[in-house]
Amino acid sequence: MLHIINKSPAERNALDSCLNVAQDGGVILLIEDAVYAATQGNEAEAKLRDALSRFKVFALAPDLEARGMGDRVMEGVATVDYGGFVDLVTEHKNCQSWL
């Protein structure tokens, strides 16, 4: 299933909660302030790197660019635009927004 996260890992526990609960093979999409989690040097980087062995992780490019972080995406995380966001939703049976 698709897990959507929209909060910075420094502000909320949404990413942690998702990683604790999500089943292997799931897909995680980081949008809005959650895109900071996928940037190099962020304190969440190691956590997310570990997660990459269990999940595919995507980050929304327009949200990265808006925050001046478009060129800092960590290796292993793919970026998508809104069209790619739509594709992720339609490709998975269900989705959970970790609000």
Partner 1 sequence: MSEGTIKKFMFVNRKAPYGTIYALESLEVVLITAAFDQDVSLVFMDDGVFQLKKGQQTKGIENKNFSPTYRALDGYDIEKLYVEEEALAARGLSEDDLLVDVIVMSRAELGKLMNDMDVVLSF
Partner 2 sequence: MKIAVTINEGPYQHQASDSAYLFCKAALEKGHEIRRVFFYNDGVNNASSLTEPPQDDRNIVTRWSKLAEEHKLDLVVCVAAALRRGIRDENLAPGFRISGLGQLVEAGIEADRLVTFGD
The least distance separating partner 1 from the CB of residue 16, rounded to whole angstroms, comes to 9
Please tell me whether residue 97 binds partner 1 under the rule CB under 8 A. yes
**Region near partner 1 per CB under 8 A, out of 28-36, 44-52, 73-81, 88-96:** 88-96
CB closer to partner 2, 46 vs 97: 97
Question: Between the CA of residue 69 and those of 36, 54, 84, 97, what are the distances in Å?
Answer: 8, 25, 19, 23
Please tell me whether residue 50 binds partner 1 under the rule CB under 8 A. no
E-only strand ranges, 1-99: 2-5, 27-30, 56-60, 78-80, 95-97
